Amino acid sequence: MQQATPTLSRPPALWRRFVLTLEMIRFEHSVFALPFALTGALLAWRQAGYPAAGLWARLGWILVAMVTARSAAMAFNRVLDAAIDARNPRTSARHIPAGLLSRSFAWGFIAVTSVLFLLAAGMLNPLCLKLAPLALGVVFVYSWTKRFTSLSHVVLGFALGIAPAAAWIAVSGSLDARIGWLTAAVTLWTAGFDIIYSCQDYEFDRREGLFSLPARLGIAGALGVARLFHLAMIACLAALAWSLALGPLAWAGVAAVAALLLWEHRLVHSDDLSRVDAAFFTMNGWVSVLFFVFWAADILILRLRS
């Protein structure tokens, strides 16, 4: 009896690898920084007094720039950390260590998204294009920092924190020092929640000689620093609202962010990290979205009144 010829497994189609890449970079987490970038754009629009008709195209290119820069940075991080991820039980199933995606495909994705980011920057204005390589450098360099500094969390925070300032430049063509308060706020917010998330790797980081605040200070000490960072974030948001003379809805947004961060810290304790995912993913998603809703409403109302 003739036996059936076994079917050789075929490599994943390009679309399948693209979908796997979106999973690898946690594409849905673009929601963390994007609302703050859009807020920066709206604040610049309010200050400059541009007509609304010209704003939509700029917001579209800002969206492209944000998504492509983050995608390139996350893919770069996954490539650079593939060997470390393979040794960490928590991350060993990630796409490159698990063999679902090749390094060469990931490098190709990084190249394509980086070019698209530069294209989006060029479509915004000349200053954005000049600063675009520097922005890529900032988001890429974070991936090395855990190898030599416990302040890697702050570097990651700054990589996201430059987004509102970049969006301000994209709309106005120049930089206003006051938007620095929002850059500082996002930097501190991101650094705080990254510290919380990295507590899961406390033992692994110490064993591997990697640098993180939990590895240096212990979990309890690191969580204390995260709380201080988030308190400072609220102070920065208040300073921004005051410096730009924003209305009651913006202040309500600051209060909403403070309440969410308080709840986030109630979810995580040094002796109980079981709810880190809820604190990291769910609460921070709500922080960024609610902040944008309150501040966008305030900006639009103030603009209509003026």
Give the start-to-end residue ranges of the domains of the chain.
25-305
- Tallying the residues shown for the chain, one arrives at 306
At the top level of CATH, the class of 25-305 is mainly alpha
pLDDT digits (tens, 9 = 90+) for 92-112: 999 999 999 999 999 999 999
Q: What confidence category does residue 115 fall into, taking pLDDT thresholds of 50, 70 and 90?
A: very high
**Lowest mean pLDDT: which of 26-30, 81-85, 134-138, 193-197?**
26-30
3-state secondary structure 112-132: HHHHHHHHHHHHHCHHHHHHH
274 or 237: which leads in pLDDT: 237
Contact 95, 27 (CB under 8 A): no
**Does residue 77 sit in helix, strand or coil?**
helix
Lowest mean pLDDT among 52-61, 152-161, 181-190: 52-61
Q: Which of 155, 153, 129 is nearest to 141 (CA)?
A: 155
Mean predicted confidence (pLDDT) in 154-161: 96
Two structure tokens written together for 25: 């970079």
Give the pLDDT confidence score for residue 50 in this predicted structure: 65
The whole-number pLDDT of residue 1 equals: 44
Q: Record the tokens describing residue 176, joined without a space.
A: 């206003």
Question: What mean pLDDT, rounded, does the chain reach?
Answer: 91
Q: What single letter denotes the amino acid at residue 202?
A: Y
DSSP 3-state of 80: helix
pTM of the model: 0.92
pLDDT value of position 60: 94
Q: Write out pLDDT tens, residues 50-92.
A: 666 678 889 999 999 999 999 999 999 999 999 999 999 999 9
